[in-house]
Amino acid sequence: MGLGILAAAAVAATGSGGAAAIGSAADRADLADTVLAIHNQERAAVGAAPLRWSPTLARDAQTWARKLAASGTFSHDASNRDTGENLWMGTRGAYRVADMVSGWAREKTALHARVSWQANFPRVGHYTQMIWARTSAVGCALAHSAHHEYLVCRYDPPGNVWNESPYNTKELASNRQFGAPRVRE
């Protein structure tokens, strides 16, 4: 059984060493399609506009993913002050990208309408970044070490802004919609 770890952050301010990037251009396109499909399905369910894929964010995410894989660490990029960031780490080869991203989406079960997302941030922060209404772009990348795989997603503008709602309105959209279109930059 593989080990998967999640970490979330949005930084919204009021290399190599054995690490390898994963995949060909076709693999990166599949990554983008999978990430956008899952994110946009979750966003449609709460009435948020679809995200577009950002090659710039993906390039930044790739740089950080390679650093994590090379160092064997799992932490947010402290120098990242401009974008939101979701991280995932697990046993190399044990998970599909859809499993990684869907793990973040499953956090919605811990989000309650009568309790602020901030009160439960460690359990819902990936999900709220995914659906944050003002976020319009995402870019992600994978890297691996001998034993672990790392997924880094960057978001612009960042979500999880303290004292703000992730939604266009304060309540979750009552009419859940699925199958939002995939949009690419």
Mean pLDDT of 117-146: 93
Here the tokens at position 56 are 């710039």
Here the tokens at position 59 are 């390039």
Average pLDDT, the chain: 82
pLDDT band at 170 (very low <50, low <70, confident <90, very high): very low
Of 37-46, 70-79, 108-117, 170-179, the least confident: 170-179
CA geometry: angle at 34 spanning 28 and 40, to 5°? Answer: 130
Cβ neighbours of residue 88 closer than 8 Å, sequence gap 6 or more: 4, 5, 6, 7, 100, 101, 103, 104, 150, 151, 152
Mean pLDDT of 27-45: 92
The yes-or-no verdict on residue 30 having pLDDT over 90 is yes
Q: Confirm whether pTM is higher than 0.85.
A: no
Mean pLDDT of 150-168: 92
